[in-house]
Amino acid sequence: MSEHGTEVQDVTEVPDDARGLVPAASGCGCGGGGCHGEDADGHQHGYITAKDNYQRRLRRIEGQARGLQRMVDEEKYCIDILTQISAMTKALQSVALELLEDHMAHCVVAAAREGGAAAEEKMQEASEAIARLVRS
Amino acid sequence: MSEHGTEVQDVTEVPDDARGLVPAASGCGCGGGGCHGEDADGHQHGYITAKDNYQRRLRRIEGQARGLQRMVDEEKYCIDILTQISAMTKALQSVALELLEDHMAHCVVAAAREGGAAAEEKMQEASEAIARLVRS
Amino acid sequence: MSEHGTEVQDVTEVPDDARGLVPAASGCGCGGGGCHGEDADGHQHGYITAKDNYQRRLRRIEGQARGLQRMVDEEKYCIDILTQISAMTKALQSVALELLEDHMAHCVVAAAREGGAAAEEKMQEASEAIARLVRS
Amino acid sequence: MSEHGTEVQDVTEVPDDARGLVPAASGCGCGGGGCHGEDADGHQHGYITAKDNYQRRLRRIEGQARGLQRMVDEEKYCIDILTQISAMTKALQSVALELLEDHMAHCVVAAAREGGAAAEEKMQEASEAIARLVRS
């Protein structure tokens, strides 16, 4: 693997059509289906765009994980490895914060409108996810 | 990829011999070579063990990154994706803290003994790496 | 100040009646007044209870800040000071997470029900607050 | 307290002479006394300067804790309180990182030079303090 000049940009090229095969109706468990940003026709154009964006960032994060293995293999300087880990942690955090924002703007809003115990549960669940992020 | 039952344990099996090809003498840049825990003969048995440990954990982290892509592909529930991201962040942090501990126990101690500007630089560099970890 | 045996439990005793003077109707800026958990009569019993809880924890945190000053004054061991800072940071985080949970359960839910641009703004604002907490 | 216009700049004015009374020789527990940055004469001018700097920042943090109590008293908007908590957390982190840097530059270097079990213990202890900071 040593022919790679840089460590953190090794991104697996998942073929684009592989993702299209996933049935769009698999749902997010939110109830009401609002979570994926469907428009009035039940299409998910907005979501598909976001999904590609998440996949691209997660493939890059996967590449960073492989880059770290290569750095350890090649016995790179510890501090340089730590720098890459910090960058990777920030990239992960950034994905998490965006997912959470999407979740709140869609699922949480939808649940709040429906009200009742389900809404309370969604809020509780979101709060717990936030606490895990803040503490990790 | 949908035949995988669990999302976070997909670990690439890097063939073991791939790692053996890396020249052990590539060094860590610390000067004095103390960073990799060489014993008096210049062998790095202790380090090799730790290296395997790091590689195993980083392969698992890479698997988590792939698991996340699959979860997004399959439009899993956002909160479940966030839970996996928190777990992955903690795993990364744990690798970073152990690397830092190793670095301090070897490189930093060695540099402190040598003294001079190089020692100060090592300390400064370690402090900056710690600040990046704390803030990421 | 050296007659204090322990560093982190010095809590200012704010007289209890001082807090009762604050007009309960000062509001939280959420619009609709839902943020403070008023019951149907406009009373805020639930909120007052939570308010006492927050005040007690914040006074303790203030005491920890004073304890830290005393430790520096008395030139306590650095590692012990760092341990207290970690404890204080966790206490602060815990207050923040509870405030955020209250905010989401009241203001965010209320805004979501009203809908429109105000709801979107509330969500955006909450997401930004979460990002600041995760990154701090 | 409502005559204060701003919430986070209320800093207790500890009289300056109060701090001068603390015996400078109380030590840091590091052994060898290197921790406080004594110069060759055993004076601690460098440290005293840093001590004032830490005290000033900790008094400001104490003021932020009081500001937060006032904000809760006055039922300020939750998001504004969270913003102040994020600022206070960052201020605390910054003090911790500087203390750690000082500790490493003095105590840890001194211990490394002495070597032996005490050096190992210092390293272990510093690593644990770092882990607590990273995880808090």
Question: What is the C-alpha to C-alpha distance for residues A93 and B136, in angstroms, rounded to an integer?
Answer: 8
Residue C67 lies in a domain: yes
- The whole-number pLDDT of residue A72 equals 95
Identity of the residue in C101, C113, C120 whose CB atom sits nearest the CB atom of A112: C113
In order, the DSSP letters of B59-93 are HHHHHHHHHHHHHHHTT--HHHHHHHHHHHHHHHH
Residue C105: list chain A partners with CB under 8 A: 120, 123, 127
D112 with B108: Cβ contact below 8 A: yes
Chain D window 44-103: which residues touch C at a Cβ cutoff of 8 Å? Answer: 51, 54-55, 58-59, 61-62, 64-66, 68-69, 72-83, 85-90, 92-93, 95-96, 99-100, 102-103
Neighbours of D (≥3 Cβ pairs closer than 8 A)?
Answer: B, C
Residue of C64, C136, C134, C129 whose CA lies nearest to C102: C129
B87-118 pLDDT per residue, tens: 999 999 999 999 999 999 888 889 999 988 98
pLDDT, position B47: 57
Residue D122, domain extent: 36-135
Distance from CA of D38 to the nearest CA of B (A): 17
The pLDDT of residue A118 is 86
Helix (H, G, I), strand (E, B) or coil at A89: helix
Whether residue C26 is contained in a domain is answered as no
Interface contact flag, A36 B75, Cβ < 8 Å: yes
Q: Tell me the two tokens of residue A134.
A: 């803040």
Burial of D105: CB neighbours in 10 Å, binned 0-12, 13-18, 19+: buried
Give pLDDT, residue C33. 42
pTM: 0.76
C-beta contacts of B100-103 below 8 A and 24+ residues apart: B100/A78, B100/A82, B100/B126, B100/B129, B100/B130, B100/B133, B100/D127, B100/D130, B101/D123, B101/D124, B101/D127, B102/A78, B102/B37, B102/B50, B103/A78, B103/A79, B103/A82, B103/B35
pLDDT at residue D42, rounded to an integer: 45
Token digits for B85?
A: 């991201």
Between D98 and B45, name the one with better pLDDT: D98
- pLDDT of the residue at C12: 41
Check if B131 contacts D (Cβ < 8 Å): yes
Identify whether C119 is part of a domain.
yes
In Å, how far is C31's CA from the nearest CA of chain D?
11
Q: Contact A136/B89, CB-based, under 8 Å?
A: yes
| Contact between C126 and D79 using a beta-carbon 8 Å cutoff | yes
pLDDT higher than 90, residue D86: yes
Is the minimum CB–CB distance between A127 and chain C shorter than 8 Å? yes
Give the pLDDT confidence score for residue A85 in this predicted structure. 97
Model confidence pLDDT, tens digit, residues B17-54: 333 333 333 334 444 344 544 444 444 444 566 899 99
Q: Answer for the pair C136, D90: CB distance below 8 angstroms, yes or no.
A: yes
Calculate mean pLDDT across residues C35-62: 70
Q: What percent of chain D has pLDDT over 90?
A: 51
CA distances in angstroms from D100 to B102, B115, B130, C48, listed in the order given = 17, 19, 9, 40
Q: Which of A38 and D96 is assigned the larger pLDDT?
A: D96
> Residue A127: what pLDDT?
95
pLDDT band at B3 (very low <50, low <70, confident <90, very high): very low
List, as one string, the DSSP characters of D44-55.
Answer: -HHHHHHHHHHH
> Would you say residue D2 has pLDDT above 90?
no
Q: Cβ contact (<8 Å) for B82 and A129?
A: yes
The CATH number of residue A124's host domain is 1.20.58.1000
**Nearest Cβ partner of C107 from D78, D93, D133?**
D78
Domain assignment present for residue D28? The answer is no
Distance CA B133, CA D104 (A): 16
- Does the pLDDT value for residue C55 go beyond 60? yes
**Does A104 reach chain B within 8 Å, measured CB to CB?**
no
pLDDT single digits (tens) D58-76: 999 999 999 999 999 999 9
The interface predicted TM-score of the complex, written ipTM, equals 0.73
Closest partner CB to B127 (pick from D100, D113, D123): D100
Average pLDDT estimate for D13-22: 36
**Considering only B10-24, B82-96, B111-125, C92-106, which range has the smallest mean pLDDT?**
B10-24
Specify the pLDDT at position C47.
Answer: 57
CA distance D127 to B97: 8
pLDDT above 80 for C114: yes
Residue A118 domain-assigned (yes or no): yes
In a domain, A1, yes or no: no
Residues of D in contact with C125 (CB under 8 A): 79
Residue type, B44: Q
Q: Which residue has the higher pLDDT, C111 or A43?
A: C111
* pLDDT category of residue A8 using cuts at 50, 70 and 90: very low
* Tokens matching residue D42: 């055993």
For residue C85, the surrounding DSSP H or E stretch is helix C78-103
- pLDDT given at position B48: 61
For residue A130, pLDDT over 80 is answered with yes
Q: How confident is the model at residue A35 (pLDDT cuts 50, 70, 90)?
A: low
In a domain, A9, yes or no: no
Our count of domains for chain B comes to: 1
* Residue B60 placed within a domain: yes
Residues of A in contact with C127 (CB under 8 A): 97, 100-101, 104-105
Nearest CA in chain A to B37: A75
Count the alpha carbons within 13 Å of D14 in the hemisphere toward its beta carbon: 20
Q: Residue with structure tokens 């529930």?
A: B77
Neighbours of A27 (CB within 10 A): 15
What pLDDT band is residue C89 in, cutting at 50, 70 and 90?
Answer: very high
Q: Express as a percent the part of chain C with pLDDT over 90.
A: 51
Structure-token pair, residue D56: 């000033």
Output the pLDDT for position D35.
Answer: 54
Backbone angles phi, psi at A104, to 5 degrees: -70, -40
H or E element that contains A51: helix A45-73
Q: Note the pLDDT of residue A96.
A: 96
Q: Which chains touch C (3 or more CB pairs under 8 A)?
A: A, D
Average pLDDT over residues B119-132: 93
Q: Does B134 touch chain A (CB under 8 A)?
A: no
| Probe site for chain B from D122, D127, D133, D136 (most B CB atoms < 10 A) | D127
Asked whether residue B14 carries a pLDDT value surpassing 60, the answer given is no
Helix B78-103 to helix A78-103 angle (10° resolution) is: 160
**CB-CB neighbors (< 8 A) of D88 in chain C:** 92
pLDDT given at position D77: 93
Contact between C92 and C61 (Cβ < 8 Å): yes
Q: Can you give the pLDDT at residue D11? A: 40
Answer for the pair A79, B126: CB distance below 8 angstroms, yes or no: yes
What is the spatial distance between Cα B52 and Cα D4, in angstroms, rounded to a whole number?
Answer: 59
With beta carbons under 8 A apart, name residues in chain A contacting B72: 51, 54-55, 58
Burial of B3 (0-12, 13-18, 19+ CB in 10 A): exposed
Confidence of residue C19 (pLDDT cuts 50, 70, 90): very low
**Of D119, D105, D100, D122, residue with least CA distance to D54:** D100
